[in-house]
């Protein structure tokens, strides 16, 4: 197996061409090689790998990655190299979402390992401290012990210095402002919240128009800080293709990022529906 290679210039050239042609940029998560193959065949521009996607593939919720049951960076490195990269033909590029707050790893070493594997893009959401509410006790304890958003920003800055395509994510306006202003990422995705729908989704009660309005507010701020940034939507009420179309039509962004919407939820529906049909089969009378 020889894994296809790409480069920052090739990736950015493709993305800029799509923007100039008014075509949405499509990023999607994959927790298995099969899903990655299907996403690439569908025309996804970027497949991202992170421990939450791997856990989703095993029937757990994305947020399971916040519990200390695994080495998040090791999981991402291993399954990206062993499951995802060998499964794709190179029409899409891989963005590895890593944990910049790993106390046992030097981020430069992690980034060098990714580049040696053929991964030329990185993000800060594998997982991010931003998953925790800032007024929560656990957020305060973690930040006090050195687990901070600053570390994620510094990792993205280093990745850009290493000629990687950087994809920054943030969950609120404060973190969005910091990461865009300081890291100047190639792509910024406003994470509006855990995607609703399916067996393991979370419905906060927010409507798609409310998700779009919150996203657009952050877009306007981000564009004011760094006009060249590519803006991507993700999460909350954006569950279906219709929802994604609403985001494209009602925000000034360049595309969208799907996770559960093109991975967990379709698998749940397809496997459950097909298996239920098989389960209804019966022997014919007299046979």
Instruction: Tell me which residue has tokens 């290679």.
Output: 5
Question: What is the reported pLDDT for 204?
Answer: 64
d(CA 125, CA 216): 21
Conformational region of residue 60, where left means phi above 0, alpha means psi within -120 to 50, and beta covers everything else: beta
pLDDT of residue 131: 87
The helix-helix angle for 241-250 and 208-225 (nearest 10°) equals 50
Q: Rounded to whole angstroms, what are the CA distances from 49 to 69, 113, 203?
A: 18, 15, 24
pLDDT of residue 198: 54
pLDDT at 260: 83
Distances (CA, A) of 234 to 8, 137, 138, 253, 281: 23, 26, 25, 11, 40
Sequence-distant (≥ 6) Cβ neighbours of residue 146 within 8 angstroms: 101, 103
For the CA atoms of 136, 131, 195, 64, the dihedral, rounded to the nearest 10 degrees, stands at -100
Residue with tokens 């219709």: 242
Three-state DSSP at 187 gives strand
| pLDDT of the residue at 87 | 96
Rounded to a whole number of angstroms, the distance between the first and last alpha carbons of the chain is 49
Residue 246 DSSP class: H
Alpha-carbon separation of residue 116 from 29, 70, 231, 266, 270 (angstroms): 21, 23, 28, 33, 36
**DSSP strands (E only) in the chain:** 25-29, 46-49, 93-97, 121-123, 165-170, 187-191, 230-234, 255-258
- pLDDT for 144: 94
The reported pLDDT for the residue numbered 285 is 86
Q: Indicate the pTM of the whole model.
A: 0.91
- Going from the N-terminus, what domains does the chain have, and what CATH number goes with each? 19-274 (3.20.20.70)
Q: What is the mean pLDDT of each run of 10 residues along the chain (287 residues)?
A: 91 98 97 94 96 71 68 93 95 96 95 97 92 92 94 98 98 96 98 68 77 97 97 92 96 95 89 96 85
């Amino acid at each position: 197996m020889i894994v296809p290679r790409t480069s920052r210039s090739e990736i950015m050239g493709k993305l800029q061409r799509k923007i100039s042609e008014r075509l949405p940029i499509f990023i999607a998560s994959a927790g298995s090689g099969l899903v990655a193959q299907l996403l690439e065949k569908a025309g996804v521009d970027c497949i991202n790998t992170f421990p939450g996607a791997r856990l989703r593939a095993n029937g757990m919720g994305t947020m399971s990655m916040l519990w200390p049951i695994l080495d998040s960076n090791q999981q991402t490195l291993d399954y990206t190299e062993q499951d995802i990269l060998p499964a794709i033909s190179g029409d899409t590029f891989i963005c590895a979402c890593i944990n910049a707050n790993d106390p046992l790893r030097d981020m430069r070493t992690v980034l060098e390992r990714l580049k040696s594997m053929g991964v030329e893009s990185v993000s800060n959401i594998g997982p991010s401290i931003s998953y925790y509410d800032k007024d929560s006790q656990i957020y305060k304890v973690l930040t006090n012990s050195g687990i901070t958003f600053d570390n994620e920003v510094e990792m993205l800055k280093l990745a850009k210095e290493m000629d990687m395509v950087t994809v920054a994510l943030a969950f609120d306006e404060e973190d969005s402002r910091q990461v865009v202003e300081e890291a100047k990422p190639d792509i910024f995705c406003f994470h509006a919240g855990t995607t609703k729908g399916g067996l393991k989704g979370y419905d906060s009660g927010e409507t798609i128009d409310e998700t779009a309005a919150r996203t657009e507010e952050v877009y306007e701020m981000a564009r004011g800080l760094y006009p060249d940034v590519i803006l991507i939507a993700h999460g909350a009420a954006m569950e279906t293709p219709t929802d994604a179309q609403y985001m494209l039509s009602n925000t000034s962004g360049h595309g969208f990022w799907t996770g559960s919407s093109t991975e967990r939820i379709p698998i749940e529906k397809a496997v459950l529906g097909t298996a239920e049909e098989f389960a209804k089969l019966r022997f014919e009378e007299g046979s």
